[in-house]
Amino acid sequence: MTDVEAAARQFIADVWNARREESAYELIADECPGLGGTGPEATLAWHRERRAAFPDLRYKIVDVLAAGERVAVHWRAAGTQAGQFGPVPPTGQVVSYSGATFLRFDASGRIVEVWSCNELLQLLQQLGVEMLPPTGGIAATGA
């Protein structure tokens, strides 16, 4: 059986930090969902998009929990926004934010599911995006 914790660490070190795209083809199963499709290429599409916005983005593993076929990784990321990030034009701003990624592996040790959550609001605030609540409040409905 594959050491899923070691595979998760390799995924972050190789694909996220070192941009070794060939590792994605070794680590990610064809059925793994990604950006606009499945498999290694769809997963790489998300990373390419993020790298276009933050070319020097680096992830540091804070903690890893592994059980059976699943791995949870708490990470911290930092980088400089040098490209478009969604609707936000390049700012040159250095950002730092945290998140968690959850991976599920198949019997052969390949990633079949990647799910991440991160402090997107904190990231956007560091880029100078102003978030305003909607005006008018909540409308009461009558029956």
Chain segment 77-91, per-residue pLDDT in tens:
999 999 999 999 999
Q: What is the pLDDT of residues 99-136, one digit of tens each?
A: 999 999 999 999 999 999 999 999 999 999 988 888 87
Angle ∠(8,121,136) on CA atoms, nearest 5? 145
Neighbours of 77 (CB within 10 A): 20
Q: What per-residue confidence (pLDDT) applies to 139?
A: 61
Q: Say which residue the tokens 């990030």 belong to.
A: 85
Give the separation between CA 64 and CA 71, rounded to whole angstroms. 7
Does the structure show a pLDDT above 80 at 2?
Answer: no
Quote the pTM value: 0.86
CB contact set of 137 (below 8 Å; sequence gap of 6+): none
